Structure 1
Amino acid sequence: MGNDNNTEPMESTITVSARGADRIQDGHFWVYRGDVADGRAEAGAVVRVNAPNGRFLARAFYSDRSQITLRILTRHDVPVDRAFWRSRLEQAVSFRERLDIDATAYRLVHGEGDLIPSLVIDRYGDYIALQALSQGTDRLLPEVTGLLVEMANPTGIIARNDPRVRLLEGLEQHVTVVHGDIPDTVAVREGTVEYDVDLRRGQKTGAFLDQRENRIAAAQYVSGRTLDCFSYAGGFALQLAPHVTELTALDISEDATALLARNAARNGLSNIQVRTTNVFDELRTLERMGETFDAIVLDPPAFAKSKSAIEKAISGYKEINLRALKLLTPGGFLITCSCSYHVNEGMFGEVILDAALDARVDVSVV
């Protein structure tokens, strides 16, 4: 008898504990190593997940390194094949199309939110940047790339697989062009604002796309003299400058401030003053000088990238918010942000309250 070289590899089965089964049935996407009762699989494989009694629960990505051993893909007993992935991608793209987003740069796939755990896909005009953050999506990358080429026909696709979280999966950090070509900068539009992004070296996949709606909304509240702290390439500054008399943008990165200056010129915004400086130090200096502003934006990088950093992060957030509140004119607006996963909304609200009490100012949430 001859061998059938087209035979699919046998699916591995992972049995979870009763607690793990409850988590899956309650809608959780992750099962931790402590709730895996039996079974092993290849790194990044799609596995069948069974309850202790052998009943089918789900199909999931398997990781042999991460504490997150299983990332749930579907609770239906269906094959996870190319058609499955194409359907998931089509659903994600269709949803964005229905939103009628007034921008050429936006998130196409947001991991668990689009039922493709640990995969991020961002669109930047004719280009796509993606991140595979687990063994499962790393193994899936060639198939996802092929599907994106078929569905979106991008000029280029870049894998921004440089986040440190990949190390927890035993994966290398790297940036790789996986299709076509990627230029040094890509021009995108957000509302009426145009700006350049660096898909190879820029933050996240190139820009902070998750703040797009907030940047546009903030324009309703600003006027007069405005201070934009941790401005990076000008996401807030470019949106706010047309509504204020003058805007000072601060960032510690010379590359970021140089890009911001170019973006300001691109949009004909002559009222933006860009300074390369340590924001913490500059806020203290501005206070000593008696400077005041009608609106201040605080959009710092994540201060708490792990639970162990929460206490230090809380101190940092309080410091910058306290200084900013002291610089605000009466009736001024503070637009303050946190992108630290480990600092939740309640904790952040307490930070602002404590800062306001120490600054001896009354504040209202608008």
Structure 2
Amino acid sequence: MNRIHIAAGHDRRLRAGHPWVFSNEIGLIEGQPAPGDAVAVHGPRGDCLGTGYYNPHSLIAVRMLSPQREDIDSATFFHQRIAQALAYRRALYGDLDGVRLVYGESDFLPGLVVDLYGSVLSLQFLTLGMERRRDAILEVLLDLLRPEAVVARNDVGVRELEGLPQNIEVLRGTLPAEVIVGENGLRFAVDILGGQKTGHFLDQKENHQALRQRVEGGRVLDLFCYSGAWGVHAAHYGASEVLGIDISKGALALAQRNAELNGFAERCRFTQGDVFEVLRDLAAAGERFDTIVLDPPAFVKSKKRLAEAVRGYLTINRRAMDLLAPGGFLLTCSCSYHMERELFLDTLRQAAHKAGRSLRLIEVRGQALDHPVLLACPETDYLKCVILQAV
């Protein structure tokens, strides 16, 4: 196995358990590893720090899969890793239906995402190292789960940073005419090939339960509603009226289908529009809502655009606060890692000041438990869900 030696003074983070080696942290390369090859990583003193895969064309030159020297190309290795990830989810949820089975670095499989929707697997191979091991991973998943179909949702920009094309393809089997999964006693249709992320926002499933006892008998505004998961949960927990807003016609059709699946079509209305403009129009019309859910897509794609994103979060939250009825709840989210928790909270404080509203901070929540956070890798902790109440 080729060897990578970390430069003096650059091994502290890796020794603490972080799974990335940046290109400027490499002091010496022994051998001629090809892109995607397994490499043994050694510290400045020559001791082995583990095994990863190498990509000289990426800023993250090595992603670690093991803290020891190990054959990461063997079927046994992937079988053990994926079986461990499955065991963790089964202990959490029992039956596996709509669940993230593998979450990259947090399951010591950096660059791999595996989501299960009923009998269908939706995969993302985000790095060259995982792309090269696709067949081995696929065989393990087929053996462990026996899915009806397997889809690769490789339509993500991060692949381009690894020198990989974006694409969507059915790798095995035939997709059912409609894929439906259960969540919190409800049913949701999932757009496997064309939906956002891998088809559904699995990371919010526990946060959806936070609507319980906060929406009964009230009007709910669901912004960036996508497939209507927040709105349908709100109806389930007793909301008298739900208005969902999204820019995508496809998302709105899916949201309407999900309302119908759960018997809430009469209480849920989904409308196309730009959320920023809709918020302004609703305020001008004097509308008020008892609960508002604000779950936008990632505003922060890179640290360089953080200031621009903060302005976006500030504007959209201020306008949402304008529409809150007295005593009403705002559930506002950020799924951008670069928008750190304290910065998000500070942005909400500024938004409340600009809106002239006093709000209580009720709760700060994170991502679902099947998206575990690796303590040594803060990049795995990305989702913030803040619950505020107008006073």
TM-score between the two structures when normalised by the length of structure 2? 0.89
Cα distance in 2 between the residues matched to 1:134 and 1:127: 22
Deviates more, 1:188-197 or 1:177-186: 177-186
Deviates more, 1:309-318 or 1:244-253: 309-318
Unaligned regions of 5+ residues in structure 2, if any?
Answer: 363-391
Q: 2:229 maps to what in 1? A: 235
Q: Give, in angstroms, the shift of residue 139 of structure 1.
A: 0.7
Q: State the Cα deviation string for residues 172-227 of structure 1 (Å, max 9, x = none).
A: 11111111122454111112211111111111111111111001222332231110
Instruction: Find the residue that maps to 1:216 and give its secondary structure.
Output: helix
Cα distance in 2 between the residues matched to 1:86 and 1:101: 20
Cα distance in 2 between the residues matched to 1:146 and 1:64: 28
Within the candidate set 279, 282, 287, 1:286 is matched to: 282
Please state if 1:247 is matched with 2:242: yes
Q: State the Cα deviation string for residues 26-77 of structure 1 (Å, max 9, x = none).
A: 1111110001112241111111112233321110111121100011111123
Number of aligned residues: 356
Matches within 5 A, 1:141-220: 141-183=134-176, 185-220=178-213
Please state if 1:73 is matched with 2:65: yes
Q: State the Cα deviation string for residues 115-159 of structure 1 (Å, max 9, x = none).
A: 111111000000101111111111111111000000100011111
Q: Give, in angstroms, the shift of residue 336 of structure 1.
A: 0.4
Q: 1:256 maps to what in 2? A: 251
Q: 1:6 maps to what in 2? A: none
Unaligned regions of 5+ residues in structure 1, if any?
Answer: 1-10
Within the candidate set 216, 219, 225, 2:219 is matched to: 225
Matches within 5 A, 1:16-55: 16-39=6-29, 40-55=32-47
Q: 2:120 maps to what in 1? A: 127
Cα distance in 2 between the residues matched to 1:218 and 1:119: 31
Give 1:175's aligned amino acid. I
Give 2:309's aligned amino acid. A
Q: Does the CA-based 8 Å contact 2:51-2:64 persist in structure 1?
A: yes
Please state if 1:271 is matched with 2:267: yes
Q: Does the CA-based 8 Å contact 1:47-1:59 persist in structure 2?
A: yes
Q: Does the CA-based 8 Å contact 1:17-1:37 persist in structure 2?
A: yes
Q: 1:139–1:263: structure 2 CA closer, same or farther, 3 Å change rule?
A: same
- Of all paired residues, the percent bearing the same amino acid is 40
Q: Which segments of structure 1 move beyond 4 Å, counting only runs of 4 or more?
A: none
Q: Which structure has the highest helix share of the two?
A: 1
Q: Does the CA-based 8 Å contact 1:62-1:69 persist in structure 2?
A: yes
Cα distance in 1 between the residues matched to 2:193 and 2:64: 30
Q: Give, in angstroms, the shift of residue 101 of structure 1.
A: 5.4
Q: Does the CA-based 8 Å contact 1:14-1:47 persist in structure 2?
A: yes
Q: 2:79 maps to what in 1? A: 86
Instruction: Find the residue that maps to 1:329 and give its secondary structure.
Output: strand
Give 1:268's aligned amino acid. G
Instruction: Find the residue that maps to 1:18 and give its secondary structure.
Output: coil
Q: Give, in angstroms, the shift of residue 102 of structure 1.
A: 7.1
Q: 2:328 maps to what in 1? A: 332
Give 2:301's aligned amino acid. K
Q: State the Cα deviation string for residues 81-120 of structure 1 (Å, max 9, x = none).
A: 2111111100000010001257721100001111111111
Q: State the Cα deviation string for residues 298-326 of structure 1 (Å, max 9, x = none).
A: 00001111112211111111111111111
| Higher alpha-carbon Rg | 1
Q: Does the CA-based 8 Å contact 1:103-1:190 persist in structure 2?
A: no
Instruction: Find the residue that maps to 2:338 and give its secondary structure.
Output: coil
Cα distance in 2 between the residues matched to 1:353 and 1:103: 39
Cα distance in 2 between the residues matched to 1:103 and 1:77: 33
Cα distance in 1 between the residues matched to 2:23 and 2:360: 44
Cα distance in 2 between the residues matched to 1:296 and 1:35: 46
Cα distance in 2 between the residues matched to 1:19 and 1:204: 38
Q: 1:102–1:336: structure 2 CA closer, same or farther, 3 Å change rule?
A: farther
Q: Give, in angstroms, the shift of residue 341 of structure 1.
A: 1.6
Q: Does the CA-based 8 Å contact 1:61-1:70 persist in structure 2?
A: yes
Give 1:56's aligned amino acid. C
Q: Does the CA-based 8 Å contact 1:227-1:293 persist in structure 2?
A: yes
RMSD over aligned Cα, in angstroms? Answer: 1.3
Instruction: Find the residue that maps to 1:19 and give its secondary structure.
Output: coil
Give 1:35's aligned amino acid. E
Give 1:282's aligned amino acid. V
Cα distance in 2 between the residues matched to 1:226 and 1:191: 19
Q: State the Cα deviation string for residues 227-286 of structure 1 (Å, max 9, x = none).
A: 000000111011111211101000010110011111111111020011011111000000
Instruction: Find the residue that maps to 1:325 and give its secondary structure.
Output: helix
